């Protein structure tokens, strides 16, 4: 099918459970957990082709795999108006930034 969209929230939930995020301040974050999206909106994808690469330690499990598959929205035709490849570019404001601080 044709990639209509990839829903970010299911991806974030699975990655969070694998250790990529915090539930509260001070919780550890595993820097080895992450994901690479291998497809884009409007791309044609055949059964068996990879669309996501997940980096993690431990076990993803059947439920996590199902959640990730549910994040991929396919359709029988290309999307009518695929989003632009770059939605917005943010540049420095011109003033030199101060030192980075942890959130309070």
Per run of 10 residues, the mean pLDDT along the chain (length 104 residues) is 94 94 91 94 94 92 94 93 74 71 54
**CATH number of 23's domain:** 3.90.1170.30
Contacts of residue 19, defined as CB under 8 A and 6 or more positions apart, other chains included, come to 28, 29, 30, 33, 56, 57, 58
Return the pLDDT at 104. 46
96 located within any domain:
no
95 located within any domain:
no
103 located within any domain:
no
Burial class (CB in 10 A: 0-12, 13-18, 19+), 68: buried
Cα(62)–Cα(50) distance, rounded to whole angstroms?
17
- Pairing type for strands 34-37 and 2-6 reads unpaired
Return the pLDDT at 88. 81
Cα(88)–Cα(83) distance, rounded to whole angstroms?
11
- Domain count for the chain: 1
Q: Domain containing 39: what range?
A: 2-75
């Amino acid at each position: 099918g044709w990639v209509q969209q990839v829903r970010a929230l299911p991806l974030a939930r699975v990655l969070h459970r694998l250790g990529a995020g915090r539930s509260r301040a001070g919780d550890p974050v595993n820097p080895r957990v992450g994901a690479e999206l291998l497809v884009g909106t409007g791309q044609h994808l055949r059964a068996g082709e990879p669309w996501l690469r997940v980096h993690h330690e431990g076990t993803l499990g059947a439920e996590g795999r199902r959640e990730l598959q549910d994040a991929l929205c396919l359709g029988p035709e290309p999307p009518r108006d695929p989003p632009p490849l770059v939605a917005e570019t943010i540049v420095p404001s011109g003033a030199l930034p101060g030192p980075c601080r942890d959130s309070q």
